[in-house]
Amino acid sequence: MLRFSFQLLAAEIFVALQPDLPYGLAWYHCMVTATTVGYGDVGLTTQGARLWAAFHILVSVVLLAELIGTIDTLRKERADTLHRVAQLQKRVSADLVARLIARAAELRPSVSHGNGITELEFVLCNLIELEIVSIARARPFITQFRELDKDNSGVLNLDDIPASGLINRSKTKHLQGARSLAKVAVEPVHMRSPAPYSTVAP
């Protein structure tokens, strides 16, 4: 819409700078120029019209390049969306599971996957297969997890955080308190323990 409006305005300017040029012919000249066809069948006789034509050509080429880039981006996004939808509609097969196991082994080579993959590995590896997430983006988080997991238990909890020097024990207690408050906040009212009865002395 912006590109079309610019051409309408450009035609108005051409008419103002060259009064003997009809508006319809000026608009035709603008559209031919904007599409880089450039027949050269419309003569610009005034100096002002020629100067404006130079500026109009530059802006029109930029707008056309931006339009082509936008169309190409939309085309790629549509193709990616259709590919992902097709992948999601596929039934889980032995070949897919084998690829997911291979992905999991690539992400965590030190972990045995002889018995298959976990639920989270299944989700993450599917995201990698659909090219929603790349291994390069997932690997730093795995590295960070292993650095925090000081006891190599494969489970990260609040006790692991102070050992890394990121936060101290007092902050850990605050985190535990916040977790308790969050649990109370989401707990149904009928399941909460009744508050102790208290009176205020007159």
Q: Is 40 left (phi over 0), alpha (psi -120 to 50) or beta?
A: left
- The residue range of the domain holding 126 is 90-148
Are 95 and 69 found together in one domain? no
Based on the fold, state whether residues 11 and 71 are members of the same structural domain.
yes
Domain assignment present for 190: no
In a domain, 196, yes or no: no
Say how far apart CA 165 and CA 163 lie, in whole Å.
5
Query: The domain spanning residue 21 has which CATH number?
Result: 1.10.287.70
Is residue 137 a part of any domain in this protein? yes
pLDDT digits (tens, 9 = 90+) for 8-43: 999 999 999 999 999 999 999 999 988 888 788 888
Strand segments, DSSP code E, in the chain are none
pLDDT band at 192 (very low <50, low <70, confident <90, very high): very low
Residues 60 and 113 in one domain: no
> At residue 163, does pLDDT exceed 60?
no
- Predicted confidence at residue 50, as pLDDT, reads 93
134, 180: one domain: no
Same domain? 9 vs 85: yes
- Note the pTM of the prediction, 2 decimals: 0.46
Considering only residues 179 and 162, tell me which one the structure prediction assigns the higher pLDDT.
162
- Reported confidence tier of residue 135, pLDDT bands at 50, 70, 90: confident
Q: Calculate the CA 68 to chain-centre distance.
A: 21
Looking at residue 179, its pLDDT comes to 52
Asked if the model's pLDDT at residue 119 lies above 80, the reply is yes
Q: Within a domain: residue 194?
A: no
Percent of the chain exceeding pLDDT 90 equals 23
**Is the domain of 125 the same as that of 172?**
no
**169 in the same domain as 121:** no
| 14 and 45 belong to one structural domain | yes
Total number of domains in the chain: 3
pLDDT at 176: 54
**What is the C-alpha separation between 66 and 50, in angstroms, rounded?**
24
Nearest residue to 96 (alpha-carbon basis) of 119, 133, 131, 126: 126
